[in-house]
Amino acid sequence: MTWGLAHGRAMIRAAQAHRDLDLDQSRYVDVYQALHRAGLMVICTPMSALFGAYLPAAVGSGGRKAGVLLNSHRSVIDQRHSAAHELGHHVFGHGECVSEGSQVFEDNDPGAWPVREKEAEAFAAWFLMPRVATRKVIAALGVEAITRPDEVYQIGLHLGTSYQGTLRHLASLKLISSANARSWARLPRGKVRARAVGRAASSPGNDIWVLGPAAHGATLHVRPGDRLVVSLSSTTDSAAETLSQPAGVRRAISPSGDEAGMLGFELDLDDPLEFDITDQFSAGGPLRHPAAGRLGWEVTLAPVRVPRVGFNEPD
C-alpha cells in the first residue's frame, strides 16, 4: 500500500472516529478522552525501546478489554501521537501491534512500513490534525499563507503535534509544498523555535507561543516552562497592568535595546507582553487584556493532559 492510499483511507476513518466518539473536529483533540470513549484501557509505563503498543480484546473466559500501552519516557507530544497511532490500530481492526523505535517522521525508511503501520500512522495525523481544526489554527495565527517554518512550529503548538509531524501533514493538506516540507524538515527544531524567542528575557525550557490579535478566543494547551509572547497593537505599559491571568502564570521581564531580538511573526512589536507558565500552573483559566481594542482580547489557557504512570481511569 502506498502512503497516498493509506492517507486516503485514514482521512475517512479519522472523520468517522471524530463523529462516533463525539469529538469536535474544529478544536484541539483530547486523544485520551477519545481512547476512553472508545472503551480502551490506557496504561502508561516506562519502556526502553517501544514507542507504544495496541492490545486487542482477548475473547473467552478471563478475557481482557482492548487497550493501549504508552511509553512514559517519551515526550508529551510523542505520547499524544502514540495514543492516536494505537487508536488507529483499534479503528482499523488490526491485531496486536507493537511500535518500536521512533515515529515515521524520523524513520530512515518509512516506505518499508507494513500496511497496518502506515494506516495507523496516517490515522494519527488526520485524527490529531483535522482539516477544519488546522485551518482554524492558521486563521488564529493571522496567517493567510504559510511561508516560514516558524509558522509551522506555531501551528503544531496549537494542535499539540510535533514540528515534523505538522510539516508532513500540512503537505498532505496542500497547505505547503512538498519541497518546502522537505527543506524545512532539515532545519533543527531548536533553530525554528529560536525564531520565536524574540525579546524574551531568557529562553524558556519548553515552547514559545507567539500570539497576536487574531488569537482572540483561542484555547491554548500549555505546559510549565512555556512562554507566551503577546503582541497587541493597543498595548501600553499602563494598559498591561490591567491584564488578568490564571494562577501559575507570571509576567516575564523583557530586555530592551540591543538585547532584544526579532520575533518570527510580523506583528506590531512595539511592546510585546511576555508570560511564563510556571510549575504552579494547574487549573488554567483566561488570560485577558481588557484594554486591547474596543472589545478586549482574551485566550483560555488549559493544562496539557499527561497520562499517569500505571492504569489511567476515565474522567
Interval 108-136: pLDDT, tens: 556 677 889 999 999 999 999 999 999 99
Other C-beta atoms lying within 10 Å of the C-beta of residue 244: 12
pLDDT of residue 3: 86
CA angle centred on 22, ends 152 and 141, rounded to 5° = 20
Q: How far is 121 from 113, CA to CA, in rounded Å?
A: 10
pLDDT, tens digit, for every residue of 87-97?
A: 999 999 998 88
| pLDDT (0 to 100) of residue 105 | 47
Supply angle C-alpha 107, 55, 86, rounded to 5.
40
* pLDDT at residue number 106: 52
Contact between 290 and 26 under an 8 Å Cβ cutoff? The reply is no
Give tens-digit pLDDT for 255-286: 443 333 333 344 344 567 889 999 999 999 99
C-alpha cell at 126: 488526520
CB 250 within 8 A of CB 275: yes
Strand, helix or coil for residue 222: strand
Q: Report the number of secondary-structure helices (H) and strands (E) in the chain.
A: 10, 12
Whether the pLDDT of residue 314 is over 70: the answer is yes
306: Cβ contacts below 8 Å, ≥ 6 apart: 76, 79
Q: Tell me: the pLDDT tens digits for 23-74?
A: 999 999 999 999 999 999 999 999 887 889 999 887 665 667 899 999 999 9
For range 205-223, the mean pLDDT: 92
Mean pLDDT across the chain, nearest whole number?
85
CA 96 from centroid of its chain's CA atoms: 27
Assigned CATH for 196-303:
2.60.40
* Same fold? 3-128, 196-303: no
Confidence check: pLDDT of 17 > 60: yes
**More reliable by pLDDT, 267 or 184:** 184
Spans of all domains in the chain: 3-128, 132-188, 196-303
110 vs 84: CA distance, rounded Å: 18
What is the C-alpha end-to-end distance of the chain, expressed in Å? 38
What pTM was estimated for this model as a whole? 0.88
Q: Three cell numbers at 35? A: 481512547
- Nearest alpha-carbon partner for 250 in 217, 225, 268, 219: 225
Say which residue, 152 or 232, is predicted with more confidence: 152
Q: Which amino acid is at 12?
A: I
Long-range contacts of 223-227 (CB under 8 A, 24+ apart): 223/76, 223/277, 223/303, 223/304, 224/248, 224/277, 224/278, 224/279, 224/281, 225/276, 225/277, 226/276, 226/277, 227/200, 227/252, 227/274, 227/275, 227/276, 227/277
Contacts of 160 (CB under 8 A, 6+ apart): 28, 29, 77, 80, 128, 221, 304
The SS3 call for residue 110 is helix
Annotation: CATH topology of 3-128: Arc Repressor Mutant, subunit A (1.10.10)
* pLDDT attached to residue 261: 36
